[in-house]
Structures are given as C-alpha cells and as structure tokens.
C-alpha cells in the first residue's frame, strides 16, 4: 500500500469519559480524591483556598475519629473550563460527572446543607458529596454546621462507608424504655434542654402522642463530656468519635433503621478500608497535597486506511446510502 493511498479523517469533539471513583487507600492515606467545581459558578479563587483549608482540617479530624487509621493524603481539584486558565494542569481522566465531591449551586430541597447522594444499603458507598459555594465562603454558616473540616468527615462517612444520620427531623423525640421522652440522638449521653420555639418556653407533653408538643426542639449544651457522635452533631466541640459501645439503639434514626441498629463505628470497622488498615503508632500525618486541574476539550485523531476495499467502507461510514453525500448529526 502506497503512502498516497492513506486517507486521514480527523474528528474533533468533546469526549465523555466514564470511570468509577479514582480514590486509592495506601498505607492509611486516601489519594486522588476528586473535588470538582461546577462550570456554572463564576470564578472565585477563594473557593479553591477554602477547599484546601477544609481538607487539611478534615484530615486531622478523620485520623482521630478512626483511631489513628486513615487520613487524606492527596486531592485533585477540578477547575471548570469556564474559568480563566491560570496555568492549571490539564485534566486527564478526571471529569465533573465522576467526581467524589462537587461544588455546585444549592439544591432546592437542601439549600446550603451539605449532603451525600446515598441510595445503597447499609455499608454501601454513596455516589458523591454536594457542597455549595456559600457553604465554603460564608463564615457565618460555621456557627450552624460547625467547622468545615468536621462537616466533610461527616459526609465522608456517608460516601465511603455507607453509614447514616443519627438525628431525625421528622421524629425529633421518642419514648424510651424507661417511659421518658428522649431526643433522637446518639449518644444519649449528650445533654441539653427542651424548648418550644420561637418563644423559648418549656415543652409540654402532648396527651395524644405522649411526646412533646409541636414546635419543641432539643438544644444540646455546648460544654459537655460526650464524645459521640459525628453522625449526630459534629459541630459540638466535644464530639470527636463515631457512636460505638455507647450507641443508642432505641432512637428512631436512619442509621438504626437501615443498619439494623448497628452502631456507625461497627459498620465502619467492618468496611474494607478499616479492615485493611491497622492503627498507626505515629500520630504525625503529612499535610494533604493538592493538584489543580482544568477541564478542556479533547482532540481525537482517527487515521483510516481507505486503499482498495477500505475505500467503500469509509464511504459508507460517511454517507451511508445517502446519494447526496450529506451527514446528519442528531
């Protein structure tokens, strides 16, 4: 076949790469976590800075919460193509659709609440964590959710280990075995007061339900000794652990319902991550590293041999049975 018989057909188009999570766990360190910023958000480098600060804080909190087992070693932050190129490295297989964490506009149902898309059974990993730019930028929200690094660990437990929340907005109270009204929480060691909003008055028992009347809430005290649980209220300064032996099996939590009353730590301890990672003797862990990547159009070049019989194949691929020689793209 002579060189002149080669026909080069060059097609330029966006390629959508489908792959699973790229996260690896090596010697206790999570590597290649992908955090992607939605292209609909305007450029704001403070988002990048606060992602990095959040992850650094989360790594230490995660290491402590898992009893010196796992931490975050490296993260890739995917910058949208709509932002100016500030010498970011080019993304290879990383895409927004396959990111582990996405930074995007608020969901109508959740507002600025961070959440994890989680539809599997107990112990099954979630799909992704969703955080809003306001959550990362508005420091006033820290008083509501707690430090961002702690919030990330709460969501990471959903995403990676398939555990569930230990609060219940729909059933904030229940009647315990001792016939007392208790707030839905884990652990039951967390102390606080019951007040009726917005007046701030003491709560009264509803004679029909046996529970507190509508409008009553449980307000945990800021200063207390309880260390669990991260899946209940990570914002409390004393909370540094997942519920374990102090697990509240009576509370009507999603964790109890979906995980058959198993504690969050029991589920986490039986995960592949923790089973394969013994506690580390050295409590000093490295600071996470960050790689800033930017999405880009992909160019794919196809070289087709059209000599001899191949010429008819290429003609058919281009024109099919259309004698007018036009190509229709839907």
Task: Answer whether the bond into residue 187 is a cis peptide, omega within 30°.
Answer: yes
Q: How deeply is 207 buried, as exposed, middle or buried, from its count of CB atoms within 10 A (0-12, 13-18, 19+)? A: exposed
CA distances from residue 254 to 50, 184, 250, 251, 264 in whole angstroms, order as listed: 31, 11, 12, 9, 11
| Full 3-state SS string of 301-314 | EEEEECCCCHHHHH
Task: Please name the residues in contact with 209: beta carbons below 8 A apart, sequence gap of 6 or more.
Answer: none
Q: In degrees rounded to 5, what are phi and psi of residue 151?
A: -60, -40
- The catalytic site residues sit at 155
Neighbours of 123 (CB within 10 A): 17
DSSP 8-class letter at 223:
S
| Strand positions, DSSP E, the chain | 6-12, 24-26, 29-31, 33-37, 71-72, 74-79, 89-90, 101-103, 115-117, 128-131, 173-175, 181-183, 192-196, 201-202, 216-220, 289-294, 299-305
Q: Which of 169, 251, 192, 196 is nearest to 204 (CA)?
A: 196
């Amino acid at each position: 076949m002579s060189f002149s018989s080669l026909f080069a057909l060059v097609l330029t188009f966006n390629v959508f790469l489908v792959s699973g999570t790229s996260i690896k766990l090596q010697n206790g360190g999570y590597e290649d976590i992908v955090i992607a910023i939605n292209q609909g958000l305007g450029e704001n480098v403070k988002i990048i800075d606060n992602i990095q600060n959040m992850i650094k804080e989360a790594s230490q909190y995660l290491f402590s919460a898992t009893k010196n087992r796992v931490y975050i070693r490296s993260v890739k932050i995917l910058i949208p193509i709509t932002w100016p190129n500030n010498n970011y490295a080019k993304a290879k297989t990383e895409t927004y659709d396959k990111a582990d964490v996405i930074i995007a506009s608020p969901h109508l149902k959740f507002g600025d609440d961070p959440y994890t898309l989680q539809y599997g059974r107990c112990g099954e990993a979630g799909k992704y964590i969703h955080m809003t730019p306001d959550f990362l930028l508005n420091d006033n929200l820290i008083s509501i959710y707690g430090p961002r690094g702690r919030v990330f660990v709460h969501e990471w437990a959903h995403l990676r280990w398939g555990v569930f929340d230990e609060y219940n907005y729909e059933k904030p109270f229940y009647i315990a075995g001792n016939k007392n009204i208790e707030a839905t929480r884990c652990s039951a060691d967390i102390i606080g007061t019951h007040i009726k909003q917005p007046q701030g008055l003491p709560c009264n028992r509803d004679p029909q339900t046996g529970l507190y009347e509508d409008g009553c809430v449980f307000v945990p005290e800021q200063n207390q000794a309880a260390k669990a649980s991260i899946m209940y209220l990570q914002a409390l300064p004393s909370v540094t652990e997942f519920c374990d032996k102090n697990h509240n099996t009576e509370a009507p939590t999603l964790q109890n319902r979906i995980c058959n009353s198993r504690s969050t730590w029991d589920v986490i301890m039986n995960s592949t991550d923790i089973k394969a990672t013994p506690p580390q003797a050295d409590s000093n862990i490295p600071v996470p590293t960050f790689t800033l990547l930017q999405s880009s159009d992909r160019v794919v070049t196809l070289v087709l041999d059209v000599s001899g019989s191949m010429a008819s194949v290429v003609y058919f691929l281009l024109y099919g049975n259309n004698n007018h020689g036009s190509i229709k793209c839907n």
